Amino acid sequence: MRKLIIHPIAFLGSFYYLFSALLICSCTTTQIEQSNSKNQTTSIKSSTGALSPAHLYREIKVVKKFIPKGRYGRKYKRTMKPRYITVHSTQNYNGDAWDHARALAKGKLRAPKRRNGNRIGYLTWHFTVQEDVVIQHLPTIEQGEHADFNGPGNNYSIGIEMCEHRGNSRQSTLDRTAKLCASLMHQYKIPLKNVVPHQHWPRKGTKQEHKNCPHYLMTNGRPGKKWSQFLRSVKRQYNRIQVPQAVAMTGNE
């Protein structure tokens, strides 16, 4: 028999440990209220042409809203060399990316710190994606707390949450996430096989070791056709990247 389920994420749903109004997130039953209406229905052009890494990054529209350095989920300095990208979905039908950014920056997403569980007392991840923007919460060279306690998912992966609030286009969110994955793959030389769903990482000591996350890309709780399709879209975006050729040197002529 397993012990009590204490996943940094699942735990919150059970214990309502938060001191604010049940701000739970990261593929849980988050109840962050959507306090502003940034639901612009900006559609992303389905661009397929070649472009530079910088151009792709601009297309993604990353806004940096970091958790304050030295506080909350960044109170410990924990450096990281990214080797994986872990994709989640919020399962929060109320909060948008801005709401999640505010909650993270104010230290509202608490989780009890414990041995073999959450290591810092907070949930954190790197990027939250919605149809029209990506918000970055952590530098990609710092560890997050979103996947598997002290496992490689937290130690070596960049965590991405995809929004699911009402009115948000799932397809545009997926397209933007695919571009973000491609950009990060290029930046950190991460192979496509290391772009994984949260489901990939076992959460030792929990009842459901392999969480069904991101749930709408899993098939019966596991990667299947929908996940493969997502990976193909990541690959398509990655293949668009063309590094400008360096000017030829003349010294060897």
Distance CA 157, CA 190 (A): 10
**Position of tokens 């204490």?**
6
Residues 6+ apart with CB under 8 A from 27: 9, 88, 89, 90, 91, 161, 198, 211, 213, 214, 215
88 lies in the site for Zn ion, by CB under 5 A: yes
Closest alpha carbon to 62 in 187, 171, 246: 187
Q: With respect to Zn ion, which residue has the nearer C-beta, 56 or 130?
A: 130
Count of residues engaged in binding Zn ion, rule: CB under 5 A: 4
For Zn ion, the closer of residues 190 and 213 by Cβ is 213
| For Zn ion, the closer CB: 23 or 27 | 27
Residue 129 makes contact with Zn ion by CB under 5 A: no
160 binds Zn ion (CB under 5 A): no
The answer to whether 203 contacts Zn ion (rule: CB under 5 A) is: no
User: Contact between 198 and Zn ion (CB under 5 A)?
Assistant: yes
27 sits near Zn ion (criterion: CB under 5 A): yes
| Interface pattern 43-82 for Zn ion (x via CB under 5 A) | ----------------------------------------
CA distance 146 to 95: 18
Binding mask 210-229 for Zn ion (x = CB under 5 A): ---x----------------
Whether residue 190 contacts residue 84, with contact meaning beta carbons closer than 8 Å, is answered with yes
109 binds Zn ion (CB under 5 A): no
Task: Assess 126 for contact with Zn ion (CB under 5 A).
Answer: no
Q: What is the DSSP annotation of 117-148?
A: S-SSSB-B-SEEEETTEEEE-S-TTB--BSSS
> Which residues bind to Zn ion, rule: CB under 5 A?
27, 88, 198, 213
